[in-house]
A and B are shown apart, each in its own frame.
Chain A
C-alpha cells in the first residue's frame, strides 16, 4: 500500500475520535496520581463545612464555662465487665486537686450515655433558612447537658472544638474563593486595560494657552501670539476629538482634568504651608525650592503645557509599589488598622477578604497584561478591529478568553495562598475574631498561656493545624494537576 494512502486512513481515524481541548485536558487531569484524591478530600471538607450544623453536636458559639480546655472525651465501646456495647460516653467532673492545685478531670462512669446517630439536638437553621434540629450523632443527654461529648476537646471558652472546626471551615475554605474572585476581577480589568491600552497616552491636564517658541516669534513677530488659544493643547485635543468623533467624552473629561489638577495643587500647597511652618534651617530652604518648583510647574502646565501619561504606566507602577512592601507587613498593617474598629463579624469577613484581594491582585494584573500585549497583536484581534469592533468588545470578547486556561491554573494555584494568609492573620488575632470561628483563630488558642501550654492541650494544636495543612495540600495537588492538564505544550 502506498505511504500517502495509509496516511489518509490514519487521519480519518483521528478525526472520528477527535476530542475537544477540554476533553483532552480532562483526560490528562485524571492521569495525575493525586488529583482525584485531592478533589475527593476537598469535596469532603466543603460538604462537612456546609453541613457543619448537622455534623457538629453543638452550635458554633455554645460555651461551657466549666469545661475550659477539656481534653477529648473518651468514647467507650465496652462496659466495665468487658462486654461490647453501643458506644457511650461518661460524665466528666472537673475538680481542683488540693495537693497539686491543678485542675483535674475525673470520669464518672456510674451512668452510661449512649451515642445515637441522626438524632434530635440543638435547633439550627440549615443554610440559614430551614429550621432543623437533626444532628449526625449525640443523644438526648447532649441538650439536657447531663453529659458532654467533646470529640476533639474544648477551647478557652469551653466550646466544642469538633463543632467549631467545621464552622471554621466555612470561613477558612470560602474566604480564599471570594478573595480570588475579587483579585481576579481587579487583575483582569486592570491588567487587561494596562495591556490593551499600553502606549496610548491619557491626559491629566491640557493647558488652554500656547506660548509660542522663539523661532515662531522671530518669524511672525507679535502675530505669533494671536494663535495662542488656537494652538493650545486644549484646542488641539478638541480638534483631535472632533476628528475621532469622541467630542462628548472629551467635554466630560475636561472638567475632571481641571478638578483633579486643582485638587493636586491644593494638596501640595497645604503640605508646603504646613511643612514650612514646622521646619527651619537647611530643611526649610530645601523644601521651599522643591515645593516652589513643583507648584510653579503645575501652574505652568495648567496654563501653557500639557501632562499626559500612559495608563499602563500608572497601573504597572501601582503593582510595583504593592510588591515593594513585604507582603506580611502590608497584610499586618491593613488588618491591624481594621482590628481597631469594632465591626460585626460578617463585615470583618468582607474586610479581611478585601484585604487579601487588595494585596494580591498585582501579580495577576502583571501576568494578564503580558498575555494581552501578546494577544492584541494576533491576526484575529486585528481582524476584529478591521471589522469595526470597539476597544472594549475586542478586549473582553476576543482577548481575555484567550487567557482562560492560564486563569484557571492561577486560581487553583493561588487559592492555598489565600487560605494560608487568612489563617495566618487570624492566628495573629488580626483576622476573623471570636465568637466567629476559623482554623487560624482556633490554632491561635494552642499557644495561649505560654509555650508549655502546647504540651498540656495538644488537641488545640493538632486538629486545626491538620485541617489547614490538608486543605492547602489538596489545593496544591489540584493546581498541579490542572497545570499539567491545561498546559498547551502537553498536547502531543
Chain B
C-alpha cells in the first residue's frame, strides 16, 4: 500500500512538470510581456522598464524563467504579481479558499441530492416519478451553467422585485454590512452564515450537472446490482426488503459513486469557474481572467500550478478510496 502510494506520487512529478511547462509555453505565445504596457506609461522611463525586465528575469530565455519559477515553487514562493504589486500567494490564497468553499459545498450538494434520487428512481423504475426525474436529469446535463447562473440571477432579481427585499443575494460572496455592522467586524458565525446564504444559488448552479450525471450513474448501478445473484440469494434467505435494498444492493452499488469524487473535481473546477464569473463570486477564475488581460504571468502560473496539484491529489485520493471500498481492485 505504502509502496503503491509512493510510486503514484513519484509518477505525478513528470506530469506536474509537463503541465506547468506547457502552461508557461502557452503564456509565452502572447505578444509582449507584462512590462510592455508600462512602456506607454509616461511615469516610467526606459531605464526603469529595463530594470523591471531584469528584475523579473524577462530578458532571460523563457526556459530560464520557467526554471526560476519552478525553483521558487519548490521553495513555496510563487513570484510577484505586477498588477497587485505584491506576493502572488497573498493574492492567490483568498481566491483559492473562496473557490474551494464553492467546490466543496457543491460536492456535498451533489452527493446529498443525487444518491437518494438515484436510489428512488431505480427502486421504482419506469414509474411516473422515475420518468420525471430522468427527464429532469437530462435537462440538468444539457443546461449550460453560465446560462443557468444568469437564470438564477434573473430569478433572484424577480424575487427582489416581488417581495421588496433580497430573498437570495444578487451575486457576490458577502454582504457589505450585517445588521448595520461592517462585515469584517461582525461575529464569525454571522460571517459564515452570510457566506452560506450567498453560496446557495452558486452551489445549486455549479452542482446541477454533476447531480444530474451522478443520479444517472447511481440509477444504473442500482439497476445492475438489483439483478445480481447475491440479491436473489438474500431474498431467498427471507431477508426483509429493507435489509436487501440497503445492506445488499445499495452498499455494492454505491462503490463507484464514492470513488468518483476525484473525477468530479476537475469538472467542478471548470464548472464553478464560469459560475464565479457570472455570479461575481471572487474565486480563482475571475482572477485568472483579469491576470490574462494584463499578462500577469506569475498569477496565472501560480493558480495553474496550485490547481494542477489539487487535481492530482484529488485523483490519487479517489483511486485510493476506490481501492479501499472495493477490495476486488488491486494496486497495480
Contacts and interface: CB of A to CB of B under 8 A. Distances in A.
A313 B56 CA distance: 36
B150 A332 contact: no
Of the listed residues A274, A330, A476, A477, the one surrounded by the most CB atoms of chain B closer than 10 A to its CB is A274
Interface stretch (B90-98, B152-160, B318-326): B152-160
Interface stretch (A51-59, A128-136, A445-453): A445-453
A320 B311 CA distance: 12
A169 to B, nearest CB: 15
**Is chain A's binding surface mostly helix, strand, loop or mixed?**
helix
Contacts of A452: 157, 170
Contact of A472 (B30, B142, B170, B303): B142
A468 B61 contact: no
Nearest to B71: A283
B63 A325 contact: no
A413 to B, nearest CB: 11
Contacts of A140: none
Contacts of A271: 61, 63-64, 67
A472 B277 CA distance: 22
Of the listed residues A277, A333, A446, the one surrounded by the most CB atoms of chain B closer than 10 A to its CB is A333
B266 interface: yes
A278 B68 contact: yes
Interface in A427-477: 427-428, 443, 446-447, 451-452, 454-455, 458, 461, 465, 468-469, 472-473, 476-477
Contact of B15 (A320, A424, A469): A320
A451 B171 contact: yes
Interface residue tally on B, bucketed by range: 35 or more
A472 B57 CA distance: 46
Contact of B270 (A275, A277, A287, A326): A326
Contacts of B64: 270-271, 274-275, 278
A324 B16 contact: yes
A424 B285 CA distance: 13
B57 A324 contact: no
A420 interface: yes
A424 B139 contact: no
Nearest to A268: B63
A427 B285 CA distance: 14
Contact of A274 (B61, B161, B277, B304): B61
Interface in B161-212: 161, 170-171
Interface string B134-158: 0000110111101100110110011
Given A278-B64, A416-B142, A458-B154, A468 B15 contact: no
A443 B307 contact: no
Contacts of B6: none
Interface residue tally on A, bucketed by range: 35 or more
B3 interface: no
B113 interface: no
Contacts of B158: 455
B40 interface: no
B266 A451 contact: no
Interface in A30-72: none
Contacts of A274: 60-61, 63-64
A321 interface: yes
A469 B150 CA distance: 13
Nearest to A273: B64
A333 B67 contact: no
B146 A340 contact: no
B154 A468 contact: no
B31 interface: yes
Given A271-B67, A321-B15, A424-B274, A337 B304 contact: no
Nearest to B312: A324
Interface stretch (B20-28, B43-51, B233-241, B246-254): B20-28
Of the listed residues A278, A287, A318, the one surrounded by the most CB atoms of chain B closer than 10 A to its CB is A278
Interface string B2-43: 000000000000111011001100110111100000000000
B288 interface: yes
Of the listed residues B63, B300, B303, the one surrounded by the most CB atoms of chain A closer than 10 A to its CB is B63
B60 A461 contact: no
A318 B138 CA distance: 33
B154 A329 contact: no
B171 A341 contact: no
B265 to A, nearest CB: 9
A420 B151 CA distance: 16
B127 to A, nearest CB: 16
B17 to A, nearest CB: 9
Of the listed residues A451, A473, A477, the one surrounded by the most CB atoms of chain B closer than 10 A to its CB is A451
A2 B36 CA distance: 92
Contacts of B150: 443, 446-447, 454, 461, 465
A326 B144 contact: no
A469 B144 contact: yes
Contact of A328 (B27, B144, B170, B273): B273
A423 interface: yes
A317 interface: yes
A323 B315 CA distance: 11
A255 interface: no
B289 interface: yes
Nearest to A318: B18
A220 B151 CA distance: 84
Contact of A420 (B19, B144, B157, B295): B144
A424 B275 CA distance: 11
Contacts of B15: 317, 320-321, 324
A318 B14 CA distance: 10
Interface in B304-332: 304, 307-308, 311-312
Nearest to A278: B57
Nearest to A475: B142
Contacts of A318: 18
Contact of A332 (B141, B153, B288): B288
B151 A461 contact: yes
A14 B58 CA distance: 75
A278 B60 contact: yes
A424 B269 contact: no
A340 B280 CA distance: 24
A407 interface: no
Contacts of B144: 420, 423-424, 465, 468-469, 472
A405 interface: no
A447 B279 CA distance: 10
Given A278-B64, A324-B311, 20 more contacts: A271-B61, A275-B67, A279-B71, A320-B15, A324-B308, A324-B312, A328-B273, A329-B303, A329-B304, A332-B289, A337-B27, A424-B144, A443-B147, A451-B153, A451-B170, A455-B154, A461-B154, A465-B151, A472-B143, A476-B138
Q: Which 9 pairs across A and B sit closest by C-beta, in order of nearness? A: A328-B270, A274-B64, A336-B292, A321-B18, A473-B142, A465-B147, A271-B63, A324-B19, A472-B142
26 contacts: A271-B61, A278-B64, A317-B14, A324-B18, A326-B269, A326-B311, A328-B269, A328-B274, A328-B285, A329-B269, A332-B288, A332-B289, A333-B27, A337-B26, A337-B292, A340-B295, A423-B144, A451-B171, A461-B151, A465-B147, A468-B144, A469-B143, A469-B147, A472-B142, A476-B138, A477-B138
